[in-house]
Amino acid sequence: MIRSMTGYGWAQGDCESGSVRVEVHTVNYKDFKFSPRLPDFLRYKEGELEKIARTFVTRGHLYMNADAELSTDMIGKLLNREKLLSYIDSVRDAVGHEIPLTADISGLIDLPGVMDLDSLPEEMRDDMYESVSGVLKAALKSLDTMRKTEGASLEKHLLKLCKSVESKIKHLAALLPEAVRTYQGRLQEKIDELTGDVHVSLDSSAMSREIAIMAERADVAEELERIENHVDQFTEALGGTERGTGKKLEFLTQEMHREANTLGSKLPSAKLVHHALDIKSDIYQLREQVMNVE
């Protein structure tokens, strides 16, 4: 089963030091990239959190936002009252004591120096990290579920395009013999116009050679076969259980596109070129869609 590279997940949980909420979302990216936003006192654990993230996401840009809300008891232990009061006094001096003040407590706590987070005991840091890592795993599971759901929808669309390519290849291959015969007829008509009453047979060595050259130039059997082989590998990869097949799918569509370009340049008629362009259009859509596959 393939997964989409885009998705969103979140989770929250409690611990002795407070509560934690983690949100994660992913967007398209050629490899894996981790961009976390963590509380200051947990930044030293960024490497360990990235290891956890890599077990769920193999490709894509993963954004993580972790908010830790300390308990009232913990805030009381860490609160620098002198610093907090100095902020309040500074505001009163600026606006005047006669003007009533209202304050957002969370905003005050976030002011520099109000919370002495550097003095957070090691066991409290560990407790908060354990909570964050556990909540992160739950958020990543939620993210993975969404990526699987989108991946299943994407897989159906990709398989539909693959079947369309296969069908159009078979149709084009069936038209090629008639194209050679049409060329022979037009060549005979042209010769008849030039020679008048003098009949020149297509069985002559010169004519046979001309027809053979044309047929060889218009022989696209190898290109058609290679595109079919790439499509077979593509569908096989879609049905596999291996994670991170997006890069392989991208490579296969690039090869399909290259063969389709060669195909279009060798066909002898505008009608056949039109069919080749239809094939190329489906392959282009495949290339666009696999950019979303993990």
The domain segmentation of the chain, as residue ranges, is 7-77+108-149, 80-107, 152-290
122-148 pLDDT tens trace? 787 888 889 999 999 999 999 999 999
For the domain made up of 7-77+108-149, give the CATH fold. Ribosomal Protein S5; domain 2 (3.30.230)
The reply to whether 152-290 shares the fold of 7-77+108-149 is no
Cα dihedral 211, 212, 215, 221 in deg (nearest 10): 160
pLDDT at 96: 67
The CATH code belonging to domain 152-290 is 1.20.140
37-57 pLDDT tens trace? 998 778 889 999 999 999 999
Asked whether residue 282 carries a pLDDT value surpassing 70, the answer given is yes
pLDDT at 180: 62
pTM (2 d.p.): 0.75
pLDDT at 250: 96
pLDDT at 63: 98
pLDDT at 175: 84
